[in-house]
């Protein structure tokens, strides 16, 4: 009974001669999944988000970069300016995400490795969370920015001069004399590229293995 369930999940196997005869058909899904894994692994070492703050007292602007597990750049200076309007420190945002982010990415790579050996629709369940990750990252970023912007400290020095607002997660925004420019980092672009590759991989996966699954079901 257990073996039967495993077989249903893994799907039909392709014989060596059949795999060689139709190497492009059966090799393409696995190759694309490999490309997606490589893109995700490389993205771990790249910045995921940039933010530039332009202000009259900083001619060159202030720059902050967010990696998967840390913040870099002029974070302290930006926090100092945000303190005057009552916004909390950027280090307080997404603490859990920065703690577990790398482990999630490693788990995603393992999930894609497993998906390469599954020849049924169950593969899509492993691929879907990875493909949705860039969108989830941006939504989470927006929610944190919104939370910080709408919950300003009323006792801050300039609290009366600034009304609650929603900072932009991507694009140009700002308040008063301060202008912010938020852009995706190379890591996020690589993760988005991996998502696009995964969508294509699922198409070729379905084209290669769905006929085999149907034939197996007919024989059963």
**Whether pTM exceeds 0.85:** yes
Quote the pLDDT of residue 1. Answer: 44
Residues of the chain under the 70 pLDDT cut: 1-3, 217-220
Residue 10 covered by a domain? no
d(CA 8, CA 22): 23
d(CA 70, CA 54): 22
**Helix (H, G, I), strand (E, B), or coil: what is residue 119?**
coil
b/e sequence 159-192, b meaning 16+ C-beta within 10 Å: eeebeebebbbeeebeeeebebbbebbebbbbbb
Residue 58 covered by a domain? yes
Residue 4 covered by a domain? no
Residue 125 Cα distances to 56, 147, 161, angstroms: 50, 31, 49
Residue 11 covered by a domain? no
Residue 125 covered by a domain? yes
Total tally of structural domains belonging to the chain: 1
Residue 21 covered by a domain? no
Which residues span the domain enclosing 135? 26-219
Residues in the chain: 220
Quote the pLDDT of residue 217. Answer: 67
Relative to beta strand 178-184, strand 171-175 is: antiparallel
Quote the pLDDT of residue 41. Answer: 96
Quote the pLDDT of residue 45. Answer: 96
d(CA 195, CA 11): 24
Quote the pLDDT of residue 98. Answer: 95
């Amino acid at each position: 009974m257990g073996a039967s369930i495993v077989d249903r999940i893994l799907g039909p196997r392709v014989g060596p001669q059949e795999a060689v005869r139709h190497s492009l058909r059966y090799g393409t899904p696995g190759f694309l999944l490999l490309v997606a894994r490589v893109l995700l692994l490389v993205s771990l070492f790249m910045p995921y988000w940039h933010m530039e703050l332009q202000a009259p007292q900083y001619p060159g602007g202030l720059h902050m970069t967010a990696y998967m597990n840390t913040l870099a750049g002029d974070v302290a200076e930006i926090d100092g300016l945000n303190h005057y309007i009552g916004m909390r420190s950027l280090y307080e945002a997404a603490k859990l995400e920065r703690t577990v982010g790398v482990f999630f990415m490693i788990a995603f790579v393992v999930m894609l490795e497993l998906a390469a050996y599954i020849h049924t629709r169950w593969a899509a369940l492993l691929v879907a969370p990875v493909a949705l990750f860039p969108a989830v990252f941006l939504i989470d970023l927006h929610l944190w920015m919104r939370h910080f912007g709408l919950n300003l400290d009323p006792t801050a020095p300039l609290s009366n001069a600034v009304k609650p607002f929603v900072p932009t997660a991507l694009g140009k925004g700002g308040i008063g004399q301060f202008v912010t420019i938020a852009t995706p980092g190379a890591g996020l672009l690589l993760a988005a590229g991996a998502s696009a590759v995964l969508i294509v991989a699922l198409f070729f996966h379905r084209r290669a293995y769905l006929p085999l699954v149907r034939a197996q079901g007919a024989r059963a």
